[in-house]
């Protein structure tokens, strides 16, 4: 590298952006939006066909998915025509419908017949009737905690009128659809499965659950257990099940394991028994992002805080104190066995670290009660006026703090009582009693002349320390780099408790995402503790010369506006654009073969491409 290039490189290096923690909260609806929990809106649905109920009822029992058009008005103002509506739910539909109660769950699609039509930016919403939740806030309160640790739907309260008649208070839940996927993953064209048996409550037909057990290579063997929501994907999904059951050592090549560990830990801490590592193996989605990894997405967490499943066992203590490592009814299912069945294993210790984090920062009974009370105060007038309510206002309030038991009819865990009992039990377990390492905040040292970007952190009570880092657009596939306190490998002083490691990339131009993982024989600690959903970032230095591990070209170069991209490999590409002082300008997925830079000032820029194999190529671009 000549002196001029070296000087420019050092300038770029010294102006790289400071490390920050990625904050997933920005992904959620802004105040005043459709999903704002501080607002309860009123929706009026008017079907064009007066015989809508019998038609939709018949369609529910045949599971045909047919919808009927209706006009939807929000808060007496905004009117949307030709919204496509169907009934939804399982037992929450069958039981009230069988008793002649009109308060059944609804699924509304706003752009099915009117392309581009949305309700305050949402393509779909799902309205749950709260049949098994006297408080109407268990699902909302639970999602409010899940969302801190992994991609999660939003929810709030909604009043619903149909054909001019008030049906009652509902829980408005965000749909897991292409819009949700794009918001959380920056793409929406991957394989998506709803993991729920096709058989609905009270319907004859094959039984089964969504336990990810291997049934064979024929995809038709899985049709009764899972529903394909994307255009294709059975081959990929069956391969996931095959690897899980027959080659579990390769599971990290096809599953985002950390997302599953967070989901499992949340299910256990919040007593959500109605999902994979609980009593029934269903109520979750699987989505395969462009990095090839399936992500577990929580869904239908209305049975959190033990919910109506309190009545599923004659011994309530057994429910509050079931084993979080083997689940209540899932110890023989493969995903539980492989990931959490052994608390002393690598994944078992990470899972314990996640449980510890949730207990310490999110399982505060007073904070959760206050949140529930705030939402309940908002919904109280609508609940009191509900003509089809399944419970009265006494239960509406009392079930927040304590169990509700109506002998031989209904039982439901209380929010506060469930937290108190579950948290006390979890904290008493042997793995939770182990002393984890202490990990200070990491510091990125100035780039070294020898060609390394070092990270150092103060760590104690650890036998191994790892820098976990990735450049992936998908914030996944973190690789482990050893950190040392031995006076070598960039470490300044041996034995001072400062562990040091180097990013494996030098000239890059990509943003490194990273966290610290420290281990001893019995426990693991992460910094930040919410990793891998949260992490630190560091903009790696840019080299002036083009660097590439696969072939890609940009032209015209120089350009005045639009850049064409030649990609001989044909693979999907993600890209970032940095300016000459290392600031990130654009981060996106390449669509077509063009990048619009017409709104950028004249100067030197660097486009960094990444393909779906993790290979990178950096191109210098001159904008005139």
Average pLDDT over residues 107-131: 94
pLDDT at 112 (0 to 100): 87
pLDDT at 69 (0 to 100): 97
Using one digit for the tens of pLDDT, what is the confidence trace for 223-261? Answer: 999 999 999 999 999 999 999 999 999 999 999 999 999
pLDDT at 448 (0 to 100): 56
Using one digit for the tens of pLDDT, what is the confidence trace for 557-593? Answer: 888 888 999 888 888 898 888 776 567 788 888 888 8
pLDDT at 542 (0 to 100): 63
pLDDT at 548 (0 to 100): 56
pLDDT at 3 (0 to 100): 33
Pairing relationship of beta strands 41-47 and 155-162 according to DSSP bridges = parallel
Looking at the predicted structure, is the pLDDT value of residue 27 above 90? no
Looking at the predicted structure, is the pLDDT value of residue 17 above 60? no
pLDDT at 591 (0 to 100): 86
Looking at the predicted structure, is the pLDDT value of residue 506 above 80? no
- Residue 545 banded pLDDT, cuts 50, 70, 90: very low
How far, in Å, are 437, 503, 537 from residue 468 at the CA level? 16, 9, 12
Average pLDDT over residues 165-186: 95
pLDDT at 329 (0 to 100): 80
pLDDT at 7 (0 to 100): 32
Average pLDDT over residues 459-464: 98
- Residue 393 banded pLDDT, cuts 50, 70, 90: very high
Average model confidence (pLDDT) across the chain: 89
pLDDT at 549 (0 to 100): 64
pLDDT at 316 (0 to 100): 81
Q: Which residue has the tokens 């025509």?
A: 81
Q: Are 528 and 534 in contact (CB under 8 A)?
A: yes
CA distance 285 to 280: 15
- Residue 9 banded pLDDT, cuts 50, 70, 90: very low
Task: Give the three-class secondary structure for 129.
Answer: coil
b/e map 484-507, b = 16+ CB within 10 Å: ebeeebbbeeeeeebbbbbbebbb
* Cis ω for the linkage preceding 556 (within 30 of 0): yes
Using one digit for the tens of pLDDT, what is the confidence trace for 292-345? Answer: 999 999 999 999 999 988 877 778 888 999 999 998 887 889 999 999 999 999
- Residue 40 banded pLDDT, cuts 50, 70, 90: very high
* Strand locations in 142-293 (E): 155-162, 165-174, 191-195, 227-228, 284-288
pLDDT at 11 (0 to 100): 34
Question: For a pLDDT cut of 70, what percent of the chain falls above it?
Answer: 90
Pairing relationship of beta strands 438-439 and 603-611 according to DSSP bridges = unpaired
Looking at the predicted structure, is the pLDDT value of residue 284 above 50? yes
pLDDT at 18 (0 to 100): 38
The H or E element spanning position 383 is helix 365-384
Q: Are 91 and 100 in contact (CB under 8 A)?
A: no
Residue 352: which region, alpha, beta or left (left: phi > 0; alpha: psi -120 to 50)? Answer: alpha
Question: For a pLDDT cut of 90, what percent of the chain falls above it?
Answer: 68
pTM: predicted TM-score of the whole model, two decimal places: 0.86
Average pLDDT over residues 401-427: 95
pLDDT at 311 (0 to 100): 79
Query: Of the ranges 438-452, 461-475, 553-567, which one carries the lowest mean pLDDT score?
Result: 438-452
Average pLDDT over residues 189-199: 92
Strand partners, 516: 467, 527
Q: Which residue has the tokens 């182990």?
A: 434
Average pLDDT over residues 265-287: 95
CA distance 500 to 456: 4
Using one digit for the tens of pLDDT, what is the confidence trace for 43-97? Answer: 999 999 999 999 999 999 888 889 999 999 999 999 999 999 999 988 899 999 9
Query: Of the ranges 60-64, 111-115, 415-419, 438-442, which one carries the lowest mean pLDDT score?
Result: 60-64
Query: Of the ranges 220-224, 411-415, 444-448, which one carries the lowest mean pLDDT score?
Result: 444-448
Q: CB neighbours (10 Å) of residue 393?
A: 13
Pairing relationship of beta strands 227-228 and 284-288 according to DSSP bridges = unpaired
Domains of the chain plus CATH, in order, are 25-430 (no CATH), 435-539 (2.60.40.10), 547-623 (2.60.40.10)
Give, in degrees to the nearest 5, the angle at Cα 21 between 20 and 27.
120
């Amino acid at each position: 590298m000549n002196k001029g290039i070296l000087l420019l490189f050092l300038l770029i290096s010294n102006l790289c952006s400071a490390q920050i923690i990625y904050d997933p909260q920005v992904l959620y609806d802004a105040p005043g939006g459709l999903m704002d929990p501080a607002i309860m809106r009123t929706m009026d649905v008017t079907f064009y066909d007066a015989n809508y109920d019998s038609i939709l009822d018949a369609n529910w029992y045949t599971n045909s998915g047919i919808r009927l058009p209706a006009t939807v008005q929000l808060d007496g103002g905004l009117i949307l025509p030709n919204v496509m509506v169907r009934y939804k739910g399982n037992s929450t539909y069958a039981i009230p419908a069988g008793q002649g109660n009109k308060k059944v769950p609804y699924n509304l699609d706003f752009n099915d017949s009117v392309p581009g039509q949305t309700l305050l930016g949402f393509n779909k919403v799902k309205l749950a009737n709260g049949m098994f939740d006297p408080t109407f806030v268990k699902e909302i309160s639970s999602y409010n905690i899940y969302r801190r640790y992994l991609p999660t739907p939003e929810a709030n309260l909604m009043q619903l009128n149909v054909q001019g008649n008030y049906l009652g208070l509902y829980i408005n839940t965000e749909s897991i659809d292409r819009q949700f996927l794009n918001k959380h993953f920056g793409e929406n064209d991957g394989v998506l499965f709803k993991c729920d048996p096709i058989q609905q409550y009270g319907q004859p037909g094959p039984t089964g659950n969504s336990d990810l057990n291997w049934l064979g290579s024929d995809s038709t063997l899985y049709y009764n257990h899972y529903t394909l929501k994307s255009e294709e994907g059975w081959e990929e999904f069956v391969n996931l099940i095959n690897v899980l059951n027959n080659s579990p050592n390769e599971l990290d090549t096809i599953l985002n394991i950390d997302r599953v560990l967070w989901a499992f830990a949340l299910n256990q801490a919040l007593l959500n028994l109605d999902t994979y590592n609980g009593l029934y193996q269903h109520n979750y989605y699987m989505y395969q992002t462009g990095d090839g990894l399936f992500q577990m997405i929580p869904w239908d967490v209305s049975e959190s805080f033990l919910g109506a499943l309190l009545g599923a066992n004659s011994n309530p203590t057994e429910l509050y104190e079931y084993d979080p490592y083997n689940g209540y009814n899932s110890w023989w299912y493969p995903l539980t066995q492989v990931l959490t069945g052994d608390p002393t294993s690598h994944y078992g210790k990470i899972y314990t670290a996640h449980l510890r984090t949730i207990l310490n920062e999110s399982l505060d009974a007073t904070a959760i009660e206050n949140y529930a009370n705030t939402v309940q105060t908002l919904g109280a007038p609508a609940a009191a006026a509900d003509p089809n309510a399944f419970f009265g206002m006494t239960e509406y309030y009392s079930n927040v703090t304590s169990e509700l038991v109506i002998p031989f009819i209904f039982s439901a865990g209380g929010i506060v009582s469930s937290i108190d009992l579950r948290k006390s039990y979890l904290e008493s377990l042997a793995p939770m009693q182990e002393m984890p390492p202490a990990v200070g905040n990491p510091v990125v040292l100035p780039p070294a002349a020898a060609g390394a970007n070092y990270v150092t952190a103060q760590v104690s009570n650890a036998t191994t320390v790892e820098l976990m880092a990735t450049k992936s657009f998908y914030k996944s596939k973190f690789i482990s780099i050893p950190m040392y306190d031995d006076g070598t490998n960039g470490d300044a002083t041996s034995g001072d408790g400062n562990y040091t490691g180097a990013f494996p990339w030098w000239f890059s131009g990509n943003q490194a995402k990273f966290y610290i993982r420290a281990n001893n024989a019995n426990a693991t600690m992460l910094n930040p503790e919410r990793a891998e959903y949260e992490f630190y970032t560091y903009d790696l230095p840019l080299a002036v010369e083009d660097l590439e591990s696969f072939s890609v070209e940009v032209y015209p170069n120089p350009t005045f506006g639009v850049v064409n991209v030649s990609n001989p490999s044909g693979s999907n590409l993600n890209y970032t654009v940095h300016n000459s002082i290392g600031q990130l300008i654009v981060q996106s997925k390449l669509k077509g073969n063009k990048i619009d830079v017409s709104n950028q000032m004249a100067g030197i820029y660097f486009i960094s491409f990444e393909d779906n194999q993790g290979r990178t190529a950096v191109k210098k671009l001159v904008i005139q």
